[in-house]
Chain A
Amino acid sequence: MSDGAVGKRYIPRPTGLHRGFYRHTLAGGLHLQSCADCGEQQHPPRYYCRACRSKALSFKAASGTGTIYSFSVSHFTRDPGWAADVPFGTVVVETDEGPRIVASWLGAPDDIQIGTRVRIVIEPVNEAFGILQAEAL
């Protein structure tokens, strides 16, 4: 399943709508797909607006801030590129705009709490892809 590698980590070569998501986010911070007809913002990017089914969609810069909605702490991984990071936290952030983003937690896994305010950043891997990360505000 590997399209590329950084060390041993699985790194995708983004395809379809996800190419645009990662390209915009690498260039100017978190972007969310936005509907020109009804204003809905959505993630992951889709071919139609989830609220009104319009195709008038484009990526718009988001605030990059949000609140932790859920999380997991992995004590085990099948990915050899993440073995050294165990235990590691993964957070589901509800952005202030509404859509939720999954991100790698930059702090200690024990510190993660639902409700914490966070900032989403991206760690570039190559010109097409980066790893979404979150840290407490």
Chain B
Amino acid sequence: MTIELSGSSAIVGLGETDYMRGTDASVLELVLDASLQAIADAGLRPEDIDGIIPPGGYATSEEIAANLVIPDLRYSASVHMGGASPTAALQSATMAIATGVAKNVLVTYGWNGYSAFRRDKGGEHQPRRRGQEMPFIDISRHYYAPLGVRTAAQWYCFYLRRYVDLYDVQPEDAANVALACRRHAHLNDKALMGGREMTLEDYLASPPIVDPLRKFDCCLETDCANAVVLTTTERARDLPHCPVLWLGGAEGHPFPADDITNRPDMLKLGIDTAAPRAFAMAGVSPLDMDVLEIYDCFTYVVMMELEALGMCETGAAKEFVADGNIEIGGRYPLNTHGGLLSQGHCWGLNHVVEATRQLRHEAGRAQVEGAELAAVTGYGDLGDGSVAVLARDR
């Protein structure tokens, strides 16, 4: 018996804490709060949840079930692809739902993305738990970290340097991504940078972090949590909100995934292999999208992701992001909530939440008129990727 995954599941509930710089709440508490919001938003009760995909290293499905009083958990899975995890998790949730293994699956991610790095600034300091190290920790420990190379900005610059040189990408090109996200943040009630203007001059004047990255090329660090609930499309039609269908999706990994520097083509991302699979499953083209929510750890990475997704030719992202094309009002509005760059950093689950709001037509001032199709990307670790194609129910 072949199971048709496309359109078999729908997102029915959304939960979102504030995006904070410092909080007394623990990660588990943030995750639980977001989860309860999502379950209520779905019109369900906590005991209806029978599948959980938790943030590995920060909270376990056992802890979440214990605190929410979920007595009979049937499905739990852990997705360890850094920022690609939430979008990839939608595929696992759909597989559980489509096979009948679970009925209502909770996908949740949260962390002390701000407080864990700043011991002196108060608040709960819960770094990633031991035993849940990054998948590439062995290579990083032996060959990157001893050279003072400890952060995502430094790892990714190994390929961003080649990208900007090969395609003559200028700071003004990357600025288009930062400026679009900032403009969209002003339309989002929870965006950390909402109301804080950024001009091109501000962007160019922001201090260098790791060439070519400036401060305003880099995502925010926040304490927060998000949650979504999925169920079958049939059941979704009896619940309060317009269902948002998982039309297709995929995960992809560069090779080797655990070392950037020995890839034959260092510019190939996981999204390069995930995107064709996702769109083939969904039966639509990338160019059919009405909204794009692209994992924006860094502006230049967004440009590479747009090419990997198939929105434009390789090297042509600098044209794609210019002239208002990615702003609300343009053809391909991107990160309509402000993204990781200007809303907050919730590992890209906030991109799934925003895409769902857009397709429910509940995005308020940021609503893209008549939005029917959205693509969400996840990107994590050393370039692992995931794609989800979401559709408004007819």
Which one of B76-84, B138-146, B280-288, B327-335 contacts A? B138-146
Contacts of B159 in A (CB 8 A): 70
User: Which one of A69, A73, A129 contacts B146 once the chains associate, using CB atoms below 8 Å?
Assistant: A129
- Is A24 among interface residues, defined by CB-CB distance under 8 A? no
B132 to chain A, nearest CB (A): 13
A37 to B148, CA, bound (A): 36
**B146:A9 contact, CB within 8 angstroms:** yes
A102 to chain B, nearest CB (A): 5
Which one of B203-211, B271-279, B300-308, B350-358 contacts A? B203-211
User: Which one of B144, B162, B209, B262 contacts A75 once the chains associate, using CB atoms below 8 Å?
Assistant: B209
**A9:B139 contact, CB within 8 angstroms:** no
**A102:B150 contact, CB within 8 angstroms:** no
A114 to B139, CA, bound (A): 23
- Is B99 among interface residues, defined by CB-CB distance under 8 A? no
A82 to B154, CA, bound (A): 13
The B-contacting residues of A in range 2-31, CB under 8 angstroms, are 9-12, 14, 16, 18, 21-22
The B-contacting residues of A in range 68-101, CB under 8 angstroms, are 69-79, 81-82, 85, 87-88, 90, 92, 99-101
A-B contact count (CB 8 A): 98
A109 to B210, CA, bound (A): 11
B292 to chain A, nearest CB (A): 28
Contacts of A12 in B (CB 8 A): 141-142, 145-146
User: Which one of B117, B142, B153, B209 contacts A14 once the chains associate, using CB atoms below 8 Å?
Assistant: B142
B208 to chain A, nearest CB (A): 4
A44 to chain B, nearest CB (A): 6
Count B interface residues, CB 8 Å.
Answer: 31
Contacts of B144 in A (CB 8 A): 102
A43 to B143, CA, bound (A): 11
The A-contacting residues of B in range 147-171, CB under 8 angstroms, are 147-151, 153-154, 157-159, 161-162, 165
| Nearest neighbor of A6 in chain B, beta-carbon distance | B146
**B207:A75 contact, CB within 8 angstroms:** yes
**B146:A11 contact, CB within 8 angstroms:** yes
**B143:A76 contact, CB within 8 angstroms:** no
A121 to B387, CA, bound (A): 42
Contacts of B151 in A (CB 8 A): 76-78
B127 to chain A, nearest CB (A): 10
A100 to B256, CA, bound (A): 13
Q: How large is the interface on A (under 10, 10 to 19, 20 to 34, 35 or more residues)?
A: 35 or more
User: Which one of A18, A43, A75, A90 contacts B147 once the chains associate, using CB atoms below 8 Å?
Assistant: A90
B232 to chain A, nearest CB (A): 43
The A-contacting residues of B in range 97-156, CB under 8 angstroms, are 117, 138-139, 141-151, 153-154
Contacts of B165 in A (CB 8 A): 114
A79 to B207, CA, bound (A): 19
A131 to B103, CA, bound (A): 53
- Is B261 among interface residues, defined by CB-CB distance under 8 A? yes
- Is B229 among interface residues, defined by CB-CB distance under 8 A? no
A98 to chain B, nearest CB (A): 9
A109 to chain B, nearest CB (A): 8
User: Which one of A73, A81, A100 contacts B211 once the chains associate, using CB atoms below 8 Å?
Assistant: A73
**A90:B262 contact, CB within 8 angstroms:** no
| Nearest neighbor of A75 in chain B, beta-carbon distance | B208
User: Which one of B208, B209, B261 contacts A102 once the chains associate, using CB atoms below 8 Å?
Assistant: B261
- Is B16 among interface residues, defined by CB-CB distance under 8 A? no
Contact A72 to B148, CB < 8 A, known contacts A1-B141, A14-B142, A100-B262 = no
Contact sample, A vs B, 8 pairs, CB 8 Å cutoff: A70-B161, A70-B162, A76-B209, A78-B151, A90-B149, A100-B261, A100-B262, A102-B147
A: residues with CB less than 8 A from B are 1, 9-12, 14, 16, 18, 21-22, 42-44, 69-79, 81-82, 85, 87-88, 90, 92, 99-104, 114, 129, 131-132
| A-B interface, 7 closest residue pairs, ranked by CB to CB distance from nearest | A82-B148, A72-B157, A18-B142, A73-B211, A75-B208, A100-B261, A78-B150
